[in-house]
Chains A and B, each alone.
Chain A
Amino acid sequence: MNIKSCLTKALPFVLLAAAPGLVLFGAGIRSTSHDFSGRSWNSSREVCVVCHTPHSAKPSASLLWNRDMTSAVFTLYQSPTINHTPGQPDGASKLCLSCHDGTIAIDRFGSRTGGTAYVGWTNLRTDLTDDHPVSFVYDSAMAAAAKTLKDPAVANSGLGGTISQDMLRDGKLQCVSCHNPHDNTNYFFLRKSNAGSALCLTCHNL
């Protein structure tokens, strides 16, 4: 195997194991790649403001969202075995994609327009055919039809409650089903560790 790619993949885990208290990988948003307080374009030096604002939030989203929403039309995931009807991203997924589709600058928040700083290696583009499907209802009926999915109303998420309670938003699977944008403890902002594919196996009964 290519030693370099092996090392770059393993390194964060080595560090994590060696220094659990390391700020970079600790709980919370500070010093993660979603902490933009140190960026030259962020004169307020605040963390939350790039995404949320206590006042004058954008009317297009809840969560006191402080950013313009992407207006991209996305190409959606398709396969012969899915049970949902694919639809355009909505809810929290659209919030993520308003940076991660690469169409809206990170430094375009609040009353700012334009902007020059865009996501780099995390650009998922507007073609979502190569991404896990999002923005569809995941309920008991789907689980019964699919047979290889756990019943979200009953199955334990491992995060305190059921899948529905902890991972779905308005009954839908979204980016935030797998990601918690405020906490990088599990790397890649994952909601839980994916060692042994534990994240995937929370919902997939395989």
Chain B
Amino acid sequence: MSSRREVCIVCHASHKAQTVPGTGLIWGRPLTAAIFKTYSSKTLKASVGQPSASSKFCLSCHDGTIAVDRFGSNQGGMAFISGSAKLGTDLSRVHPVSFVYDDALAGAVKHLKLPSVEPSGFGSAIAKDLLRNGKVECVSCHEPHNKTSNAAMLRRGLGEAGLCRICHKAMPPTSGFSHAGKCGDCHSLH
């Protein structure tokens, strides 16, 4: 697929990359033009729009619309993502992305930590380490280079005090339910 046997080039070009204002990353691939069905729920306070460029970087392979082997001047188009890695264009059952997560939202939601001050566990505050232009994006939870060696390239594992609890406080018991244990026992992220 990459006739030059390079790793980074499938996503990053050194020059003549996509110019995505405010996002950079010398992105060497076309961006998906799909219109996504976004997450919604009765309790959601954040306003979730169409995926921003940061998440579109991931979706441009993972929505299944653009071939993995189409990058740089390579107009290939044979290798598409498949299986559980293919999210499609319906994101209504995926953890919401591309919404502003600021202290005002945390104040409104109550069980969210203040992103400007609460530590991410990665050296600085949640906002600095995990948000992109102030928003939750795919890369808030995933580290696409597999630096962490966690399953699904997650920034942190899904144990009891795991990934979810970086931003979500421990949940109080609700209607007789203790709300203890791993979040993933009841909630699915994708």
A82 CA to B128 CA, complexed, in Å? 11
Would A81 and B19 count as touching, CB distance under 8 A? no
* The residue from B3, B5, B17, B147 contacting A131, defined by CB atoms under 8 A apart: B17
Interface assignment of B18: CB less than 8 Å from any CB of chain A: yes
Residue interface mask A167-206, B partner, CB < 8 A = 1: 0000000000010000000000000001111001100101
Q: List 17 A-B contacts (CB under 8 A).
A: A1-B76, A1-B78, A5-B74, A10-B3, A78-B24, A79-B22, A81-B24, A124-B15, A127-B19, A130-B13, A130-B18, A131-B16, A147-B122, A147-B123, A194-B4, A197-B8, A201-B7
A77 CA to B20 CA, complexed, in Å? 10
Other A-B pairs, 16, CB within 8 Å; known A1-B76, A80-B23, A201-B7: A5-B73, A5-B74, A5-B75, A10-B3, A78-B21, A81-B132, A127-B19, A129-B24, A131-B15, A131-B17, A132-B14, A195-B6, A196-B7, A197-B6, A200-B7, A204-B8
Taking Cβ atoms with an 8 Å cutoff, the residues of A that contact B are 1-2, 5-6, 9-10, 13, 77-82, 124, 127, 129-132, 147-148, 178, 194-197, 200-201, 204, 206
Q: Which residues of chain B are within 8 angstroms of A81 by Cβ–Cβ distance?
A: 24-25, 132
Would B132 and A129 count as touching, CB distance under 8 A? no
Residue interface mask B129-145, A partner, CB < 8 A = 1: 00011000000000001
Interface assignment of B1: CB less than 8 Å from any CB of chain A: yes
Interface assignment of B103: CB less than 8 Å from any CB of chain A: no
With an 8 Å Cβ cutoff, the count of chain B residues facing the other chain is 34
Q: Which residues of chain B are within 8 angstroms of A82 by Cβ–Cβ distance?
A: 24
A148 CA to B122 CA, complexed, in Å? 12
Would B133 and A195 count as touching, CB distance under 8 A? no
Would A77 and B4 count as touching, CB distance under 8 A? no
Would A132 and B15 count as touching, CB distance under 8 A? yes
Q: A206 with B147: in contact, given A80-B23, A131-B14, A131-B26 (CB under 8 Å)?
A: yes
Q: Which residues of chain A are within 8 angstroms of B19 by Cβ–Cβ distance?
A: 127, 129-130
Q: Which residues of chain A are within 8 angstroms of B17 by Cβ–Cβ distance?
A: 130-131
Would B5 and A195 count as touching, CB distance under 8 A? yes
In B18-68, which residues have CB < 8 Å from any A CB?
A: 18-19, 21-26
Q: Which residues of chain A are within 8 angstroms of B22 by Cβ–Cβ distance?
A: 78-80
Q: A196 with B24: in contact, given A2-B76, A130-B17 (CB under 8 Å)?
A: no
A172 CA to B152 CA, complexed, in Å? 36
Interface assignment of B9: CB less than 8 Å from any CB of chain A: yes
Q: Which residues of chain A are within 8 angstroms of B18 by Cβ–Cβ distance?
A: 130
CB-CB nearest in chain A for B77: A1
A204 CA to B122 CA, complexed, in Å? 18
CB-CB nearest in chain B for A11: B3
A195 CA to B9 CA, complexed, in Å? 11
CB-CB nearest in chain A for B133: A80
Would A178 and B14 count as touching, CB distance under 8 A? yes
Q: Considering residues B16, B78, B123, which has the most beta carbons from chain A within 10 angstroms of its beta carbon? A: B16
A200 CA to B19 CA, complexed, in Å? 20
A41 CA to B23 CA, complexed, in Å? 42
Q: Which residues of chain B are within 8 angstroms of A10 by Cβ–Cβ distance?
A: 3-4
A65 CA to B147 CA, complexed, in Å? 43
Residue interface mask B102-115, A partner, CB < 8 A = 1: 00000000000000
Q: A77 with B24: in contact, given A131-B17, A195-B6 (CB under 8 Å)?
A: yes
CB-CB nearest in chain B for A9: B3
A81 CA to B15 CA, complexed, in Å? 18
Q: Which residues of chain A are within 8 angstroms of B76 by Cβ–Cβ distance?
A: 1-2, 5
Would B6 and A196 count as touching, CB distance under 8 A? yes
A55 to chain B, nearest CB (A): 34
Q: Which residues of chain B are within 8 angstroms of A132 by Cβ–Cβ distance?
A: 14-15, 26
